[in-house]
Every structure is written in C-alpha cells, then in structure tokens.
Structure 1
Amino acid sequence: MSVINLNAVSLVLGDPLFTDLNLTLSKGDRLGLVAANGRGKSSLLALMHGTEDPTTGDITRGRGLRVGHVRQHLPDGDLNRTLYDYVRAALPQDQADYESWRVDVALDDLSVPYETQRTALNALSGGWQRTAMLAAAWITEPDVLLLDEPTNHLDLQRIGLLQNWLARLPQDVPVVVTSHDRAFLDATTNRTLFLRAERSRDFALPFSRARAALAEADEADNRRFANDLNKASQLRKQAAKLKNIGINSGSDLLITKTKQLTERAAKIEAAAKPAHQEKGAGDIRLTNSGTHAKALVSFDDVMVQTPDGRDLYRTGKLWITPGDRIVLLGANGTGKTQLVKAVHRALQGGADGIRTAPTVTLGYSDQHLTQLKDSDTPMTAVAGQFDVGDQRARGLLAGAGVMIQMQDTPIGKLSGGQKARLAMLVLRLTQPNFYLLDEPTNHLDIEGQEALEEELCAHGAACLLVSHDRSFVRNVGNRFWQINRKRLEEVADPEAFFNAEMASA
C-alpha cells in the first residue's frame, strides 16, 4: 500500500539537484537513499516530510499521514534543554503530563542512561543528540520514519543498538534512511534509491547488491550511448557521400535523401544519453612522497593517558613501517584518539617513548577537521598553503567537489560534507608518506570513501587510523591493533571486535 508518492518531482536550488523523480514509498519499505554530498538527500527528505516544496512535480501523502523526521542537527534553541525534556516536548501539550511514560519507554528502548536523560543537550555528544531526536520522532507514533544520517557520531555499540531498534519496528512502518555507512545500509534496508540530477535509479535491493546492479545498468547505458553515436556517425558519412553525388549529378532526390539522413543522425545524437558520471565524490588522489626509513614510527612501551593524566593502556614495543595500514580498535572512551594525538605530538617534536623517522612527511586529519581554520576560505586553505596559483587552486577545488560559489566562503560556514572534501584535497596536496587519520569518513559520502580507500591502498600508503565504519576498516586495514585490558595488542582481523561490539548493543 502506497503512503507517499512522488510524481515527476524536480528540485532546483541554483543547480538542479534532481529532476523528473518518480518514487512510491509503500508499507514495509526500508529505503536507503544514496547520493554524493550536496546532491539533495536532505532536501528530498524535507520534501517527503512536507516542510519544503518541489520546484516542479507533485507529492501526495496518505490522508492523515504522520511523518517522523530525524534531521542531522538539533535547532540551537533546543540545546539548553535536558535530553528528557526535549523528547517530552515532542508530545502534544495535552498529552505531555499524563502520557510522559511514553518518554521513559522510548528512552529505555534506546538504552539511554538515567543521568544522560537529565543532562543538557549542549553538554552531550552528537551521538546522544541524535538519539534524542530519534526518540522525539518515535513517540509521536509516526506512520513513516525519515532518518538523515542517523549513524553520524555513533560508536559501533550504538550503531548496533540502532540496527536492532530498527529491526524491531513494526513491519508496516516504512523507513527512509540516508547514510554513508555501507554496512549499516546493508543491514537495515531492502531497497536503494541512487539520487541523481537526471535519471535517478531505484532497486529493490540493499546497498551492496544495488550498487552492483547500478554498475551493470550504467555499463549498459555506456554501450547504448556508444552504439547510438556510431549509428549517427554512419548516417552522416552516408549523407556526405550522397550529397557529393547529388551535387555532381544535379539530382534533387539525392539532395532530399541527404537532408533526411542528416536529420535522422541529429535526432539520434539528441536522444543519446551518456552514462551517469558522478561529480560529487571529489578528486581524491593521494600521493606518496616516498621514504627509505625502515620504521616510520616506533613505540617503546608508551603509556597512553587521558588529557588530565589518568593512565589508559600501554602500547608495548610496536613499529609502523612503509605500507602498513594500521587500524586502532577499541570501545568508545578507551583511548584511540589519545594515541593518535600522542603520535601527532611526536611528529611535532615532543612525545616520550615515540620515535619518528626524520623522513616522515605527515598527512593529518582529525574527526573534527581542526586542521582547517574556520576563518579561512577554501581558496586560502589551498592557494595560501601550496604553490599552485589561484587559477589552478580554483580548478583543484572544483575537481574535489567544492564548487565555485563555495570557494570564497569561510570554512566555518561550510557543511560537514563540504569540509570533508576540502580536508581530503588538502591532504592530497601535502603529499605525505604517513597518514594519521581519526574518523576520516565522518561526513564523507560513499563515493568519497571509496575513492579514499582506493588511493590509500593503490599507493601503498602507510597510515594509522581510527574509524567506526566497518566497510572502510575492512577495505583499508592490513594490520589491526586492539586496546584490550590496559594493553595494545595486534590481532589478525577486526571481525571478533566488530561482533563483540555489535552483540553488546
């Protein structure tokens, strides 16, 4: 049964985000919405929710349909509320007093500790803020649930809990989810829409299988386009021969036939559609400046500590050598980021027990992208740091998906996805031989993640990284260090850790 229907819907915000989109959302659908950053995923959810209107086309909803919409960010005006009060405020005013038990049930289902419920949202992590928005949407008893990047800022345990929570929802409640977490999409969806400026594609498959089907469809489009152009070319060659014969012989019939062939060729060329080329992923091409050092970084049984000096764990004696792509594994709060920061300090000239080769050229990106200054613009971040010239800087930014209208905007005003693409470009231009990456896929779209994976592996880059993205870890890592009972231990693969974290949800 259809609950939301989109007919020939287009949305233009400066440039077309998507055009002529036809989509029927039915009961039982678990729809994954996939597109590059800035290509209209959040806008499409807003259209389905009814808070925005399409440029053209029609959207119909079932009579009395209640739509729950979980956005990416809390409104600033709600940040001073406690998590509990924020969720309670989602109830209609006449129900808030005598049905507040529904808040307790929702927060218990989402495993929110009592002390966290009573904490102001501005003192909580982005993950808890997302949990609050999810609970607030669910207690309104929606008929449809729209989730915009629900796994952002969540650790593996919370991602596992969210997966389980979605699996327990009534089967007749359709869910639409945007996410860059491929493993999460595979686990929670049964249908995938690849949103494009033209000819969006919809498959009744979870992400990975849908992605393979999309590649086949695009390849078929490529072959069809090449055949159409070849057919038009042959017609034009025929027309040129007939034209010469017709002129030399003075035959009006041949001149007419020439015109007909030329018109047919023009029609075929006009109708021919090239296969889709994704422009949103950005041009991420990392290079390796090279080093002859046997060990880039070595640890002499270092004690990793919290910022206030509490002991967390010891590293033992470990080395990072060229070609090692090491992933740090550990539950939230165990000190993964603290080790990354310790290595960063060592490379800046000060950390006891960590030695670094003098030939190391560092490429660094932390989870908050603090290497980018909010007061800079993308142009100053590129042209000001690297000897590329203004014209080439603008070309590089455009190639990385930072469009011309964004290039002179303060970085602090860019979206998370725009900042992520800029950070990857700056990383590329640094030409490091050692990458230190803390949650590099935060806000990076799927195309960008895959490009980063390919480049890290293809160039034999050495790196130490932290990520909650299971697909990224599996595809990039060739060594794995796990924090286990106050020690850092090397393990064969991440699967036992993944399984334990997801099972504890």
Structure 2
Amino acid sequence: MQIRLEKLGFSYQEPLFSGITMTIAETHRVGVIGNNGAGKSTLLKCLTGEVEPTEGTITRPKNIRFGIIEQDIPPHLHSKTLYDVILEAMPEEERDYNSWKVDVALDTFKAPTVIHGKPVKELSGGWQRLALIARTWMGEPDALLLDEPTNHLDLEKIMLLEQWLNEQVRGIPILCISHDRSFLDNCTNTTLFVRPARSVSYPHSFSRAKEQLVQDDRAFAAQREKELREVERLEKSAHELKQTGANFHSDSASKKSAQMAKRADDLRTQVIESQVDVRRDIKLPNSGVHAKHLVELKDININAPDGRQLLHIERLAIPNGERIVLLGLNGTGKSTLVNAIYKAFDNRERAKMDGITITPTAKLGYVDQHLSSLPMNLTMTEYIAGEFQMSRQSVIAKLIETGFPFDRQDQKISKLSGGERSRLYLLALRLAEPNFYIMDEPTNHLDIDGQEQLEAEILKNGAACVLVSHDRSFVANLGTKFLLIQKGKLVEIPDPEVFYSQMAA
C-alpha cells in the first residue's frame, strides 16, 4: 500500500505549504514538522479527503481506512468505561475472541486494573488520550494519523506510547505531527518539513533530518544569491543597452536591450525563493547579579496541600548561571518545590524564616505551563503597554519583532493560540529583565523552532534557572545539574538518562 503526494500545496490568502512530493509506504513513519500555523493539520485533512488541496495531487488506494486520533473524548463515550471505549472500536463479531488485544494495549500502557472499569470522563487527560490512541488502533486502520499524540501525557506515558508504537503498531504507515524532538527521534524514520515556499522530506528521523535541512537550506540560499546576482547583471546590461539605443537611435541596441530585459525577468521568475521562516525571536535577558548564591534552601520540608511531607531538603544552593533540572515521578513534589521557591519571592523575610533565602538582587522570571498570569481580557498591546509603561510605538515594534504583525496586535489574548500566548509571555519576561528563571513545562505550546530559540537564549544569557519539563531534548540541552526526587530526598544524578532508564525498567 502506498500514498503518493505530487507537488501538493494548500493556500488561503497566502500559501500554508507547497511543493510536497513524496511516497508514503507501509514501512514509513513520517514526522510532520512545521511552525505553529504552517498547515500540518490541514495536510492530514488533505490526506483523508476532508479538505481539497489547492495544488498538486494525492494518489491513495481506494477505500483506504485512515485511523485518526481525536483530540478529545467524544461526548457519546463519556459514560463508557476505559475498557469498553477501546473494545467497541472492534467489529462487533470480533469482540469475543479478540478482546485480548485490549488487554495487551492496557498492559503496554501500564493502566492500573482499578481504572479499567472507570468511565473515561473520570480519568485524567493523559489516560483519555491513550484510550483514544488504542481505540483508533483497534479499528484496524490502513494508515495511522497522529496529531500531537503526546499532548496531555506525562513523561512516563510518553515513553509507554513510544514503546507501544514501536512494538505493537506494525505494517501500516504512520504520519505524526509532533513538537517533541525525542519522541520523533524514537518513533519515526522519515521527516517532512512543511513550509510555505519549499517543503522537503528526508529518509531520516528528526535530528538527522534537521542537520540535512540546515545544510541544504544554506546551499539553496547560496545558489539563490548567485542567480540573483546574474539577474542584476542582466538588468544592468539591459538598461545600458536601452540608453545606447535611445541616445544613438539604434533599433538593434533597443531590440537587444528588450531581449536581455526579458531574460532577466524570466530568470527572476525562475529563482525559487529560499525558505526563510519569519523569525519570531525569543530573547531572554539577564540583568546580572554579583551574589554567590541567588537562592538557598536549608533544612526545609516540602509538603503536599494535605500536609503530607513530599521531600526534605537539607541544603540546596543555586548560584548564578546554574541550570537545575528537577526530575521525578508524578506526585513526588517537583511542581510543589518550584511553587515554594516562586512564593518565596513574594515575601522574602517570611521565606527566610521558613528556610528559603533569596539574595536582594535576585529578580524572578516565572513561566508556568498554563501561562496563568496572562490577562485574557486584554489585547496584546494593552497588556505590554500597561505592564511596562511603554509607548504604543515601542509596543508595536516589540510585538512585530516577536512575530505578531501589526494588523493582529489589537487581538485579545484569549483569541491567541497556545504557541502565540507562549511567545507573548516570553516577550513579557524579556522586558521584565529577570536574572533567575523558574520554568514549569515552558515548551508545552512552543513549536520546535521556538523551543530551539528558547534554548539558545537561555544558554546565551547565562542566568540561573530551575526547570521542570518532560521535554527530554530541552532538558538534555540545557541542564547543568540534574536533581532526582527519590524517596523524599533530592539526589544528584550525572545525566537524566539515569532517571529515564529507571522509568523504562
């Protein structure tokens, strides 16, 4: 079974993507990569026939069955149990003798027996997500389409999903939209970069494909520059000949000038614009600090809301430039510890009595996964201007620099996508000029380009940081110290892979 895409493209007023030419066979596991709003989900809809492409063709087998993972549990399934939601995806006549497949799926996902009989509406978003994925597979699709399959999943469930895809899902092509670089490296063997001017694919998983893309884009841009220089030379020669023809009344020179001008126009038309995505720069400042330690925790208990002790910290000192990654299973206290440090900045004297000392020059920048401090009722312009006492002209310039065109700047924040809210929030952080960052799942809504820019900025500015993230690539690229919460204590480990190996065991 094969699906053939030939010069496929889709446009509204402007192209979302174009030039997709590739064959998708049974062995292909395609990672679909692109910035937020690049048309990745639209591409999947083109494949299924839900949306017609505006250019190019799709050749697919007749009566092909696509397995499409829904983003949310449909209302008619809310009252059904986890087990039945998966089982009922099978043809009715197969359920009695094939129900073992449901057991295998639930066992692979390590679903506790106690939740098998629970209505899915009572389960966490992560379990609901895995239920929908398993349900789709039970329908025996000819091709599997995954749109952000790791959404709502914690790290343990992401690793279980990887295991399931690699061990159980075989013999059909998979197309997967994801911003999780480690997940893509572990689960795909082909990568498609969806772009407005020049979409390209490579027979590699993400990291190797990205290296090849960067090399090819540089070569392509160099060729484009060479062609444009030739266009400029022809245009200059045509202009000089035109002047000669006019000055000396030479029909021959005028005719030759017209021919040369046409050659220049034709060549300019043939020059394919090099793919240069609009840079939506993420820049984080470091206002500088001279203290030896910005934050120090000494002989302190971190307790759950119900009073249970989650961990005891004998001493944790965070010097300037240290990037600490907190690791641990769900419920061990990562976010509770981060929240304790965050609250300590609000009342430093009280915090000091409780065992958390913050140097007077430490200035906090806080990013939580819900971006809870963004005022949803304000426009982007109102928020930035009011928060930082900036002129409208300065606000416009900052928003454009961050990737928000002028005609969208008066939109309410509530109307922005998750990725756009992340970029706006990170702009606000930049303007606040902190020197100590607390980041709780900061990449949740960032596309891969945004993740890489954020990494580069954190590395560049040298500020201290406490980070909680299930993004393994982000953690590996940034961390200078890795602290695992284990048996109620902070244990330093040399590498996050130590923790990941424990989880996979």
- What are the residue-to-residue correspondences of 1:61-72 with 2, within 5 Å? 61-72=60-71
Look up the SS of the partner of 1:473 in the other structure: helix
Counterpart of 1:365 (choices 364, 367, 374) is 367
- Farther off after superposition, 34-43 or 20-29: 20-29
Q: Does 1:399 align with 2:398?
A: no
Structure 1's unaligned 5+ residue stretches are none
Question: Once the 2 structures are TM-superposed, how far is the Cα of residue 399 of structure 1 from its aligned partner?
Answer: 3.5
- Farther off after superposition, 281-290 or 436-445: 281-290
TM-score normalized by structure 1?
0.92
- Alpha-carbon contact 2:89-2:139 (below 8 Å) kept: yes
- Farther off after superposition, 304-313 or 345-354: 345-354
Q: Partner residue of 2:185?
A: 186
Q: Partner residue of 1:45?
A: 44
CA distance in 2, matches of 1:390, 1:191: 46
Question: Once the 2 structures are TM-superposed, how far is the Cα of residue 242 of structure 1 from its aligned partner?
Answer: 3.1
- What are the residue-to-residue correspondences of 1:17-416 with 2, within 5 Å? 17-75=16-74, 78-79=77-78, 81-92=80-91, 102-279=101-278, 282-349=280-347, 350-351=350-351, 352-403=354-405, 407-416=409-418
CA distance in 2, matches of 1:42, 1:333: 34
Counterpart of 2:488 (choices 486, 489, 496) is 486
Q: Partner residue of 1:500?
A: 502
Question: Once the 2 structures are TM-superposed, how far is the Cα of residue 13 of structure 1 from its aligned partner?
Answer: 4.1
Question: Once the 2 structures are TM-superposed, how far is the Cα of residue 235 of structure 1 from its aligned partner?
Answer: 1.8
Look up the SS of the partner of 1:304 in the other structure: strand
Deviations 1:373-403 (A, max 9, x none): 3333333332331233334434433433445
CA distance in 1, matches of 2:228, 2:482: 50
Against the structure 1 CA distance between its residues 369 and 124, is the aligned structure 2 distance closer, same or farther, given a 3 Å change threshold?
farther
Deviations 1:80-111 (A, max 9, x none): 55433433443456666786554334323322
Against the structure 1 CA distance between its residues 422 and 478, is the aligned structure 2 distance closer, same or farther, given a 3 Å change threshold?
same
- Alpha-carbon contact 1:219-1:275 (below 8 Å) kept: no
Question: Once the 2 structures are TM-superposed, how far is the Cα of residue 301 of structure 1 from its aligned partner?
Answer: 2.1
Against the structure 1 CA distance between its residues 55 and 259, is the aligned structure 2 distance closer, same or farther, given a 3 Å change threshold?
closer
Look up the SS of the partner of 1:197 in the other structure: coil
CA distance in 2, matches of 1:86, 1:356: 51
- Alpha-carbon contact 2:108-2:160 (below 8 Å) kept: no
Question: Once the 2 structures are TM-superposed, how far is the Cα of residue 20 of structure 1 from its aligned partner?
Answer: 4.0
Against the structure 1 CA distance between its residues 406 and 84, is the aligned structure 2 distance closer, same or farther, given a 3 Å change threshold?
farther
Question: Once the 2 structures are TM-superposed, how far is the Cα of residue 21 of structure 1 from its aligned partner?
Answer: 2.9
- Alpha-carbon contact 1:221-1:274 (below 8 Å) kept: no
- Farther off after superposition, 319-328 or 15-24: 15-24
Name the amino acid aligned to 2:69: V
Question: Once the 2 structures are TM-superposed, how far is the Cα of residue 255 of structure 1 from its aligned partner?
Answer: 2.0
- Farther off after superposition, 89-98 or 246-255: 89-98
Name the amino acid aligned to 2:192: L
Name the amino acid aligned to 1:441: T
- Alpha-carbon contact 1:221-1:273 (below 8 Å) kept: no
CA distance in 2, matches of 1:93, 1:411: 47
Against the structure 1 CA distance between its residues 404 and 235, is the aligned structure 2 distance closer, same or farther, given a 3 Å change threshold?
closer
Aligned length: 501
CA distance in 2, matches of 1:493, 1:343: 24
- Farther off after superposition, 361-370 or 407-416: 407-416
CA distance in 2, matches of 1:443, 1:255: 59
Indicate the RMSD between aligned Cα atoms, in angstroms: 2.4
- Alpha-carbon contact 2:67-2:136 (below 8 Å) kept: yes
- Alpha-carbon contact 1:145-1:175 (below 8 Å) kept: yes
Name the amino acid aligned to 1:332: N
CA distance in 2, matches of 1:65, 1:357: 63
Look up the SS of the partner of 2:325 in the other structure: strand
Q: Partner residue of 1:444?
A: 446
CA distance in 1, matches of 2:498, 2:34: 31
Against the structure 1 CA distance between its residues 53 and 116, is the aligned structure 2 distance closer, same or farther, given a 3 Å change threshold?
farther
Q: Partner residue of 1:429?
A: 431
